[in-house]
Chains A and B, each alone.
Chain A
Amino acid sequence: GAVVSQHPSWVICKSGTSVKIECRSLDFQATTMFWYRQFPKQSLMLMATSNEGSKATYEQGVEKDKFLINHASLTLSTLTVTSAHPEDSSFYICSARGSYNEQFFGPGTRLTVL
C-alpha cells in the first residue's frame, strides 16, 4: 500500500525558533497533500491544502505567515512553523492524496515548544 512518512517524528524547540516538518510519499506521486493539526484526545483539524507547484490553500483562522507550506515536488511537502510559541505545541499530521482520491496519512510529528 501507499506509504507516507514524516520527519521528524518528535521535535522539541525553544520559543521563537522555527521548525520544519517534512512529509514524503514514498512509493507514489501526490499532486495534493494536506496538513492537519490534532490536539490531545481531539479530532484532526485541517490547516491547509498543498498543491505541487502552487501556493497552499489555508483554512480560515490559520496564519499563512506562521505556517509556511512548500510543495516543491510530487513526493515532498514541508510545513515550517515560524517563530514557534508554546501554544503551537501539537501533533501535526500530513496526508497525501492517491490516484483514487483516498488519503494516505503520515505517522505524525509531535511538536513541543518550550
Chain B
Amino acid sequence: DTEVTQTPKHLVMGMTNKKSLKCEQHMGHRAMYWYKQKAKKPPELMFVYSYEKLSINESVPSRFSPECPNSSLLNLHLHALQPEDSALYLCASSPEGQGRDEQYFGPGTRLTVT
C-alpha cells in the first residue's frame, strides 16, 4: 500500500459543530503531517507528529486539535471553527530517517465552515 487516505472527502460544518478529519497510511512511515491549503496557495504546515509524538505546532489556534492514536492514524479534531478556516486539509506522511525524505500527500478533505 503506497497511499495516504483521508476521510471524509468533503465536510460542511457550522461554527458550533464538532467534527473530526481522519488520515491513514500503511507505508510504515513514522512522521505524519497536517497541512491547510487555500485556493491558489501552497500547502501551509499546521502540525507534525514524529513517532506518535507532537513535534511541531505552527502556532495553530486551539480550535484545531491533532491526535495520533497509533503510527498509522492521524486525526484532526475541529471545534468552533470560523468561516476563514474553510480550506483543503491535507495529510501527509514521510519515512523519517533511513536516508529517505519523500513526503506523500493524501487526497485532502475539502472543509466548508458556514
A, B from the same assembly: no
A residues near B, CB below 8 A?
A: none
